[in-house]
Every structure is written in structure tokens, then in C-alpha cells.
Chains A and B, each alone.
Chain A
């Protein structure tokens, strides 16, 4: 498979008044063409920061301090602002959690999507027709009329469809979807998951899925990287991660999800909470919460090693 995006040793720091927050601390991964790759983790693990780094949209006081992000054979970290402007939206587009804050409330949704299409030197009339086609493609009912709606006139699920329509309008090769279904209800979530998976097949796009929800990952992703406190702790294909999780954190996180009734037993807890990234724990960052920790975990940081084909883990239990 051909690699579309390759992130190597990426580091992002935020220089706050409380100290330097190492939000992303040396992560590496690759996304192949047509692949759905998921970054999963709890709040503050660095998954959204990674997405913003790929778009080169890290806000002040954050900074990319090290690493490379190679997209279609070009290191985005060396690209000029003009070059980035051409890549954003055209080559890489991004879907956010809350479509209401990403859409402009005072413009009709059709105009907003057409605005993106005319950037490719397509005449207005043709662009408008393309918007209607796109709306049909993302299964918006009555597309011919819906293009005249304002965002507040649409439901949450419809707004997210508009956003997806806008993001695929210029046929990007990578879509970054940051918690695309988190703000939606269960029945609507199922519809959007189905839509995203169909888009991958029809448009042959790659998707970088950012989420905290293992359920969505199990339904959609091909490969997964689990993040904890700015690091990737485990990476593998969806079956390896769900059926043979190696890192204690991955296993405990999946087990902490209620899959049982209270009569069948007690939920497995992960003690404590995620660490402060200004002063992360020494050694393995998970060691204060890990029931399997050894002496070495407190001193030496484990590195990500390949245990079986395509299955990587950063844990001293496996030699890390």
C-alpha cells in the first residue's frame, strides 16, 4: 500500500504561564491511501493537537518543535504559508465535532459550500450544481431546497452532512475527522458512520479519525494508535487492538467500558486520572496507574517496538 501521510517524531509544546506542556511528545505513524486510521485516547492525550499540527494550525502559545510531517512526498513543516493555504481544504480537509460552530450562521449553507468550490476556478453556476450533487451524495433529503437553508434551520445530523459535503467538495486525499459523531445522537451517529465508510470507498480518500470513543473506532477504523499523555502507547490493526491488546492501558481502557450488566460483575476501573503534562511522571507515563509496573517503569521510558507484524507497543513488559 502506498503511504499518503507520514508523521515522524512529532513534538508540539505549549508555552503556558504554568510551564511548558508537552502536548505531543515524539509520535510517529503513517497513513496509507484509502486507509481509515484512528487516533484514540482520553482528553488531553494529544490527539487533537496532532490533527492541528498536520494542518499547521497549532494556536498560540503552542509550537511544533521537532519532527516531520510528510504528505504526498512533501514535508509540510517546511511549506510556506502560501503553500499551506493551497493544501488546506484542497488536499487535506477537516471535519470538527460541532458543525454549528464551524458553519457561518449568516450565510446559506449552499453558498458556503459553493465558496469552496469556486476556489478551483469553477464558474458559479456549475459550482452551485455541484453543491446540489454533493448534498445528494451525503444523503441530504430535498437537496435542491436544502442548499437555501441557513445552518440554524438544519438539525445536528444535517449540519454534519453539510460539513462533510463541504470537506469532500474539492476531493481531498485526506480527511481529518475530529470527533465527527460525538455531538450526535445514537441513531444519527450510525448514519454518519455509514456515510464516512462509504465515502472512503467511492472517493478513495484516506481518513484520520480522532476520537475518544472505542465504539466508533471498532465500527470504522482499519488501523489504530492509542495515545496516552502525548505518546503513542500502542498501534496496530483494528483486530490486533481489540482482540489482543498488549499495553496495559489499552486493555484496561477497553475493559472499563460497560459491556455487562451489574449482575454480571463489577466494572474494571483504572485508578487515578490522566497526569499533568507540565510535569509528567518519569519513566513510563502510565506507571502511576499501572497494576503491572516494575521498577524499570519508574525510571526508563519505554520505546515503541514491533511485537508482531504491524503491531507496536511501548511497554517494558514486552522489552520496550
Chain B
């Protein structure tokens, strides 16, 4: 397998400025030393709660924001060092779909204009562009009669199909999907998830899929990374993560998620106490230790590194492998 994306020790600190001289007095560590890679043709899922840094990573990978430190290799080339012209070429090969289609589509552009714009920006000749627009509308299951419509004349599902069409119209290799179904109704969510799988096959796409919804990530991803306070806690193939997680936070997330079976209400859950602390003054050592029921003295002092505990299964926990989580993960997981 060949890596499309390799992220190495990526950091993004947002300065907090105060006063008229804009003195930097502290930083928000949105992404704090994260490394992972995404292989050609796979879907890599990133899960985490709000403020965990998953959307910041999405923006960094497309270099919509500049990293504080670390490298992002796209097909082996470090995109953090590219100039504007070079970046433009690379961006042609990347797409992004945002959570809320209503606010990511220009309300004054018709569907046709929205799809034409990326083609124009990258100098695709008009005839070819027309052809691509008609082809892509078919791929995302939208009728051609919608080409003349404005976003407000479309349903939420149709809007998201247009956003997806725009993201892949230049035939990219890599698409970032940032909570693409979170704003949609359940019945429409299933349509969009199936569409994304079809498009992946048709255009041989590589996805980074970001979501806070554990069952959605589980359905679509081949491998999943779990984030907390700007750190990656665990990376594993999907089935393994839900049945044999090693990190207490992953177990807490998986066992807190509601299950569609009222008879399993009284199942054992690993309820993490309290709430995520501030990103400005994150806890020392392992960022989870104030909430972790298994914390030991070392967890307060030393930040654990992400290490491979089993083949293709990475965990950042001082006690990885020591704790038996089977009572929390034994039951059926049905988000």
C-alpha cells in the first residue's frame, strides 16, 4: 500500500492575544504533536468530541491554515513548504466537504455556477467542463433540471450532493469529509453515506472522514483514529477498535454511545467523570488523567507516546494492555 497522506509530528497552536499591543500571552494547543498516515484508497476516520482538534487537522491537511510545526506529506511531497503556485497544483488533487451545506454553498450561485467555478480556476476548457458537470451530476444522483437552481431551492440532501460534486469534480485523489452528514436527517444520512461509498469505488478516492458520531464512523471507515484534546490516543482497524480497544478513552466513548436496544440499558458502561479540560492549560502528563479511572502516578508526570502494541494498532497509554475492558466491549455495539 502507498500512503497518500503522511502526517508527522503535526502541531497547531493558536495564539491568544490580549491588550492593544496584541501581546501573546498563551496558546490554544488545538493539535499537539500528531502523526498518522492514510493509505491509497482507504477511508481513515477521525473521531473525537468537540475541541479535540479533528477539524483543525482537516484544515491543516489542505493547508487552509498554516501548521505551527511538523510535516504533511501528500504523495511523498511536503506540502508545508510549497509556494502558492505549487500549492495550487496540489490542491487540484484534494477536495473538502463541510458539515453544513447551506452555509458552504454560495447562495447567489446556481448549481451550475458552483460546479463551474473550480473548473474555471484550474483552466479546464469550456467543452470539457460542460461534459464533466453533466457526468458528475449523474454520479451524485442529481437530475440535470437542478443545474439552474439556487441552494435555497434544494433540500438539505441535495445541497450536500452538490457540495460533494464540487469537491470531486476535478477528479482528486484525496477528499476530506468534515462531518458531512451531521446536519442531515437520518433518512438522508443513509443516502449520503451510501453515495460516498459508491463514489469512492467509481473514482478510486481516498477519504479522511471526520465525525463525532461513532456509528457513522464505524460504518464508513477502514481505520479509525481517536482524538482527545489535540492528541491521538489510539489508531486501529475499525472492527478492532470497537471490540478490542486499549485506551480507556476509546472504551469510554464506545460504551457511552447509545445503543438501539432498550434491553441493554443496564449494560456496563465506562462513564468518564467530568468533562474535557481547557486547551489553554491542558493537564500535565496524559491529558486524560484527571478523568481516567485507571490513572497511576506516572500518568500525571509523563505524556505517553503513541506506540504499536499489536500489528496496525497504535495506543498512547501508559497502561496499554494492562486493563481488561471486555466487560465494557463484550456486548453488541449498535450505535
Contacts and interface: CB of A to CB of B under 8 A. Distances in A.
Nearest to B156: A273
Contact of A219 (B197, B258, B275): B258
B187 A42 contact: yes
Given A157-B275, A257-B215, A258-B218, A267 B190 contact: yes
A258 B190 contact: yes
Nearest to B217: A258
B190 A268 contact: yes
A261 B214 CA distance: 11
Contacts of A273: 155-157, 185, 187-188
User: Would you call the interface of chain B mostly helix, strand, loop, or mixed?
Assistant: helix
A218 B187 contact: no
Interface in B236-279: 238-239, 252-253, 256-263, 265, 269, 271-272, 274-276
B309 interface: no
Interface residues of B, number: 43
Given A262-B197, A267-B219, A253 B187 contact: yes
29 contacts: A185-B212, A186-B49, A186-B212, A186-B257, A187-B252, A187-B256, A187-B272, A189-B256, A190-B257, A191-B271, A212-B185, A213-B258, A214-B260, A215-B259, A218-B259, A221-B262, A252-B187, A256-B190, A258-B193, A258-B216, A260-B219, A261-B218, A267-B219, A269-B187, A271-B191, A273-B156, A273-B157, A273-B188, A274-B185
B189 A215 contact: no
Interface of B: 49-50, 155-157, 185-191, 193-194, 197, 212, 214-216, 218-220, 238-239, 252-253, 256-263, 265, 269, 271-272, 274-276, 334-335
Nearest to B254: A186
Given A191-B271, A215-B258, 5 more contacts: A42-B186, A186-B214, A189-B256, A259-B215, A269-B191
A158 interface: yes
Contact of A257 (B188, B212, B253, B335): B335
A56 B259 CA distance: 34
Interface in A274-308: 274, 289
Nearest to B189: A256
B263 A270 contact: no
A261 B239 CA distance: 8
A256 B187 contact: yes
B309 to A, nearest CB: 22
A212 B186 contact: yes
Contacts of B191: 269-271
Question: Which of A185, A214, A221, A274: most chain B Cβ within 10 A?
Answer: A185
Contact of A258 (B219, B252, B271): B219
A216 B258 contact: yes
Interface of A: 42-43, 141, 155-158, 185-191, 193-194, 212-216, 218-219, 221, 238-239, 242, 252-254, 256-262, 266-271, 273-274, 289
Nearest 9 pairs between A and B by C-beta?
A: A215-B258, A258-B219, A185-B49, A190-B256, A270-B187, A256-B190, A42-B185, A259-B334, A267-B190
Contacts of A271: 191
Nearest to A191: B271
A192 to B, nearest CB: 11
B77 to A, nearest CB: 30
A253 B218 CA distance: 18
